[in-house]
């Protein structure tokens, strides 16, 4: 029974929620307009040719499409902004580089990537060679039996480090919400249960793969039969992972996709070369406030600010300027 619920029904629901949820979030974000081109410029802009612009400036203050792509890639794969992190020492009134968070984050995320790649062996038949190679390299094939996968341990370490930060650093503790702890605990539970299954209470991996291969082709009857034969320990790991999948699109974990949408990073700093059009104010010949804004049924309209209005207000003074032929000279004393 456990097998059927957690081995067949739950994963189907989780995957459906995950896929629909992520697509919904993407569409939802894309439905909002980007009124302004507002990149945060972290380096020297593109300027006169004689102004030196280094390779870092190209990525921190991108001008072309490719430079912007480069910035995003560095951001996503190197966590470049976190690498720049500093810490302010109140007692010394100065700041220094602080890269621990970067280190922990890199440790966790890359371990996660490796772990996911390794898990792809349960879904792909035949198992791709690079997956096998990667697993063998990180496990130092042959040293331990069964193989000890470094990424599997590193991910637990990384998660603990990230969590301990939230628990012991007063500032992080203050700004951590229950959901922040929850996400970390959930991931810890998944990774720890996975490790336990790997090293202590073993499950029959071939059966697990058979289950997944059958689930994929909606061979429900057979899958249910296989599911019942797998050790219960597997279902702790599997159910938690399913839950994470379903939880993902509706939590802060969605930062994985959101980072691609962030307007302060994914736009080039070429405002002066290419005009950005605001989709909800595409013909701004008259300012919105002059046209009027409506709040609670009332319309508020500002007076026109064109030259004629202005001239009519200060005619005398402007005429005086015109008389002096628009030229200002020092007064003769």
Q: Which is nearer to other proteins, 2 or 78 (CB)?
A: 78
Alpha carbons 109 and 82: distance in angstroms, whole number? 13
Q: How far is the CB of 96 from other proteins (least distance, A)?
A: 7
Alpha carbons 117 and 132: distance in angstroms, whole number? 10
Q: How far is the CB of 238 from other proteins (least distance, A)?
A: 16
- Contacts made by residues 66-74, CB under 8 angstroms, sequence distance 24+: 67/268, 68/266, 68/267, 68/268, 71/265, 72/260, 72/265, 72/266
Q: How far is the CB of 4 from other proteins (least distance, A)?
A: 19
Alpha carbons 294 and 145: distance in angstroms, whole number? 72
Q: How far is the CB of 5 from other proteins (least distance, A)?
A: 22
Q: Which is nearer to other proteins, 2 or 133 (CB)?
A: 133
Cα distances (angstroms) measured from residue 253 to each of 22, 53, 244: 11, 36, 10
Residue length of the chain: 333
| Type and span of the H or E element at 159 | helix 150-168
Q: Which is nearer to other proteins, 5 or 301 (CB)?
A: 301
Q: Which is nearer to other proteins, 2 or 120 (CB)?
A: 120
Q: How far is the CB of 150 from other proteins (least distance, A)?
A: 10
Q: Which is nearer to other proteins, 232 or 258 (CB)?
A: 258
Q: Which is nearer to other proteins, 13 or 125 (CB)?
A: 125
Is residue 218 within 8 Å of 182, Cβ to Cβ?
A: no
| Type and span of the H or E element at 294 | strand 293-295
Is residue 125 within 8 Å of 165, Cβ to Cβ?
A: no
Q: How far is the CB of 119 from other proteins (least distance, A)?
A: 11
Q: Which is nearer to other proteins, 40 or 185 (CB)?
A: 40
Q: How far is the CB of 138 from other proteins (least distance, A)?
A: 10
DSSP classification of residue 8: I
Question: What token pair was written down for 169?
Answer: 């650093």
């Amino acid at each position: 029974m456990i097998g059927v619920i957690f081995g067949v029904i739950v994963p189907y629901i989780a995957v459906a929620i995950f896929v629909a949820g992520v697509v919904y979030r993407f569409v939802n974000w894309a439905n909002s307009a980007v009124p302004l081109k507002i990149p945060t410029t972290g380096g020297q802009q593109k300027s006169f040719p004689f102004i030196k612009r280094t390779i870092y400036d190209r990525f921190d203050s991108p001008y072309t499409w490719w430079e912007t792509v480069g910035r995003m890639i560095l951001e996503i794969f190197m966590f470049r902004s976190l690498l720049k992190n500093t810490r302010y020492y109140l007692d010394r009134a100065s700041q220094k580089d602080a890269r621990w968070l970067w280190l922990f984050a890199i440790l966790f995320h890359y371990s996660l990537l490796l772990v996911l790649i390794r898990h792809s062996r349960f879904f792909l038949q035949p198992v791709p060679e690079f997956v096998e190679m990667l697993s063998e390299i990180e496990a130092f094939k042959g040293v331990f039996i069964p193989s000890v996968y470094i990424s599997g341990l590193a991910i637990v370490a990384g998660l603990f480090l990230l969590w301990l930060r939230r628990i012991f650093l007063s500032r992080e503790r203050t700004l951590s919400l229950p959901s922040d702890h929850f996400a970390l605990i959930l991931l810890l539970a998944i990774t720890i249960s996975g490790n336990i299954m790997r090293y202590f209470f073993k499950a029959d991996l071939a059966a697990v793969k058979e289950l997944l291969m059958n689930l994929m082709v909606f061979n429900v009857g057979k899958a249910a039969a296989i599911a019942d034969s797998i050790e219960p320990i597997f279902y702790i790991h599997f159910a938690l992972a399913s839950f994470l999948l379903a939880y993902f699109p509706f939590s802060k974990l969605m930062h994985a996709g959101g980072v691609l949408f962030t307007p302060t990073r994914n736009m080039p700093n070429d405002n002066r070369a290419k005009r950005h059009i605001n989709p909800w104010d595409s013909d701004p010949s008259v300012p919105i406030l002059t046209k009027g804004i409506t709040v609670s049924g009332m319309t508020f309209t500002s007076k026109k600010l064109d030259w004629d209005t202005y001239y009519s207000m200060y005619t005398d003074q402007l005429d005086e300027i015109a008389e002096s032929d628009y030229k200002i000279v020092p007064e003769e004393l």
